A = this chain, B = another copy of it.
Amino acid sequence: MDFSLRILGSSSALPTPERFSTAQVLNVLERFFLIDCGEGTQIQFRRFKVKTGKLNHIFISHLHGDHFLGIFGIISTFNLLDRKHPLNIYGPYKLKGLIDTFLATFDHTLGYEIKYHALHYDDGLTLLFEDDKLTVESFPLRHRVPTCGFLFKEKPRLRSLRKDMITHLNIPIKELHGIREGNSFTDIEGTFYSNEQLTLKPPKARSYAFVSDTAKLEKIVPLISGIDLLYHESTFADEGKKRAKQTGHTTARQAAEIALKANVGKLLLGHFSNRYKNLNILLNEAREVFPHSYLATDGKEFSVTV
């Protein structure tokens, strides 16, 4: 699985041994992105064998304890493990002050750099990170404190080479990358081969959106339209609809309504209130609206497929 999501925590405010607070690791071609970071995330790293050496970006949706309290232990532990390469943290600007104060209590300086990137809350998508393989964008949600969701989009992938043709025509290696990017090829006898003759259609680029704590918010629908995998908080069942509204949260059914409107591939439910010992009520209510709904409980891994 080269585009996959591992759930490290699925609880709302009160963590339990079975459901830690919100945290997820997204693996995009062996780049690892940590999304939210509740207390105990570093313990889940060990439980689920997360490759933290390749983890260079942490995204924090908002400053409620169940979404960020694990970051201090991670910062400290990375130092103990002799990390040298920079760690990028994307989160509310207030978190930087808290991290700085925390570091000031240390008895030694960090052996690596923390690059802090404050979130913005403008309407629509804001680019946070980009490399040759993907982009990460944020978008504002509606909660009790400033909160963002995050959208991970793979860039259009290169066409695949037709190995039979490459071998048959004995095409030099130095030509191959250009052909994957769309070049044609003319052999030494002057015969022309179009790109379509030499390559196959590329796999579709994949996408994942993380919708952290929020009241039901229709305006995100165009931003996440057609994505392959959507995580949407689902703190309550129908019976908690009023409480959801009061606290800036969503029911499982409302999350499914958003998934349906946005025409996503698959919906993951998470951030469960501890009042639900059995989560089937949430799953069933979501599936009545959007059948491709699943429970994002601790330890589960989901492959992002098109």
Contacts and interface: CB of A to CB of B under 8 A. Distances in A.
* Category for how many chain A residues contact B: 35 or more
A187 B298 CA distance: 70
Contacts of A81: 14
Contact of A17 (B15, B43, B94, B95): B43
Given A43-B17, A98-B102, A72 B65 contact: yes
A14 B39 CA distance: 14
A94 B81 CA distance: 25
A69 B43 CA distance: 13
Interface of A: 13-17, 20, 39-40, 42-43, 46-47, 63-65, 69-70, 72-73, 76-77, 80-81, 94-95, 97-98, 101-102, 104-107, 144-145
Interface hub of A69, A72, A80, A81 (most chain B Cβ within 10 A): A69
Contact of A105 (B14, B17, B20, B95): B95
Given A105-B95, A145-B107, A80 B14 contact: yes
